[in-house]
Amino acid sequence: MQFGKLVDKAWEDKSAAEILKAPPSALEGLSERHDEALKEIGIKTVGDLGKWKYASRAAALVALAELDK
C-alpha cells in the first residue's frame, strides 16, 4: 500500500505494521521534538498515538460535528 502524504518520506515504502511501530515523527508534519513531548504522556509509537483514547474521542467529535449541522 502507498501511504504518500500520510508519512514522512523516509517511511513511504514501509508496511503499515512497520509504521505503527515507528515513532510518531514517522507521520508527516511531526518531528523528533514531538516524539519527546508525546513520550512524556506514554505515546512512543504511531500505534500508541492511534489508540490513544483522547485521539479517538477527538476523532469521534469531529465525525459527529459533521452530522450536527
Could you read off the pLDDT of 21-61 as tens digits, one per residue? 999 999 999 999 999 999 999 999 999 999 999 999 999 99
How would DSSP label each residue in the chain?
---GGGB-GGGTTS-HHHHHHS-GGGBTT--HHHHHHHHTTT--SHHHHHH-HHHHHHHHHHHHHHH--
Enter the C-alpha cell of residue 2: 502507498
Could you read off the pLDDT of 4-25 as tens digits, one per residue? 789 999 999 999 999 999 999 9
